[in-house]
């Protein structure tokens, strides 16, 4: 990943980003728009999503669109892609950043939690990929990037369902990359360590409530768990995604972003 990103490689492309209204997804949307891509944001909350699309349009001289959909719902995803194509043309970049994290020891992980983690973190990637892939192959160009997690390449305590889903995301990326090799489409995953986002802060609040600990102390524990000893910024993850989108010579990788050095990424198979 040390190679330079080709200048203007993303200009004029249509990027669709799930979970694009907040956190890592929002940072990715802004980074891609800053590189000249038109951006469709997909998410569940219509008011938040449309506000994010207006913010994007005000910040960058590119087209933006908001498509309301729950990525766990195949029909809703299909409709979102139909609307996005009508608004901004064929989707040539897909970034699946929608996700959720719930924690519990395995003995208290019920089937409902297991299904929720699989549905949003893994099924959502599958649903979106089915909508985007055929037109990418037909065009001879496409970039698919899944936002997995460091928990998708190693085990984290008390998040077995989440970790299993994120491992599945990495497996999906590698299998699909092999399937589309030579077509002009690349498929990769980024695997960030703990990142300072609303999702992580909500997780810290739940842990603090359950354990009686201070929420800031929980956040500091997350930071110490990262190999770099600090929380990542969403923009660091977004930069890694943008580099994968801009390049055509990286396929089937799980890129671990762990904050050990500014902008450093490592590959782990």
* Residues carrying an active site annotation: 162
22: which residues sit within 8 A by CB, 6+ positions away? 48, 52, 197, 198
Angle at 172 between CA 166 and CA 175, to 5 degrees: 145
Give the integer Cα–Cα distance in Å for 215 and 204. 6
Neighbours of 50 (CB within 10 A): 17
Residue partners of 245: CB distance under 8 A and separation at least 6: 9, 10, 15, 32, 37, 93, 95, 143, 145
- CA dihedral angle for residue 127, residue 129, residue 134, residue 139, rounded to 10 degrees: 150
Q: Which two tokens stand for residue 50?
A: 């449309």
């Amino acid at each position: 990943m040390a190679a330079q990103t080709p200048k203007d490689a993303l200009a004029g492309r249509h990027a669709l980003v799930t979970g694009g209204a907040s956190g890592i997804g929002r940072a990715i949307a802004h980074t891609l728009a800053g590189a000249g891509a038109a951006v469709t944001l997909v998410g569940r909350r219509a008011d938040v999503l449309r506000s994010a699309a207006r913010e994007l349009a005000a910040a960058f001289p590119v087209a933006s669109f908001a498509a309301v959909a729950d990525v766990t719902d195949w029909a809703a995803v299909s409709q979102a892609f139909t609307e996005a194509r009508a608004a901004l043309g064929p989707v040539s970049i897909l970034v699946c950043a929608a996700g959720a994290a719930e924690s519990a020891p395995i003995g208290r992980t019920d089937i409902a939690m297991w299904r929720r983690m699989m549905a949003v973190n893994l099924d959502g990637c599958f649903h979106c990929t089915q909508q985007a892939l055929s037109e990418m192959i037909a065009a001879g160009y496409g970039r698919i990037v899944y936002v997995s997690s460091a928990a998708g390449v190693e085990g984290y305590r008390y998040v077995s369902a989440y970790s299993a889903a994120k491992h599945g995301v990495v497996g999906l990326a590698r299998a699909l990359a092999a399937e589309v090799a030579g077509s002009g489409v690349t498929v990769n995953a980024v695997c960030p360590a703990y990142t300072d986002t609303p999702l992580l802060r909500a997780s810290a609040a739940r842990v603090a409530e359950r354990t009686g600990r201070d929420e800031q102390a929980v956040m500091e524990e997350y930071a110490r768990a990262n190999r770099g000893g600090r929380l990542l910024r969403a923009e660091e993850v977004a930069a890694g995604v943008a580099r994968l989108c801009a390049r055509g010579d990286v396929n089937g990788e799980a890129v671990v972003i762990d904050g050990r050095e500014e902008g450093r990424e490592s590959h782990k198979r």
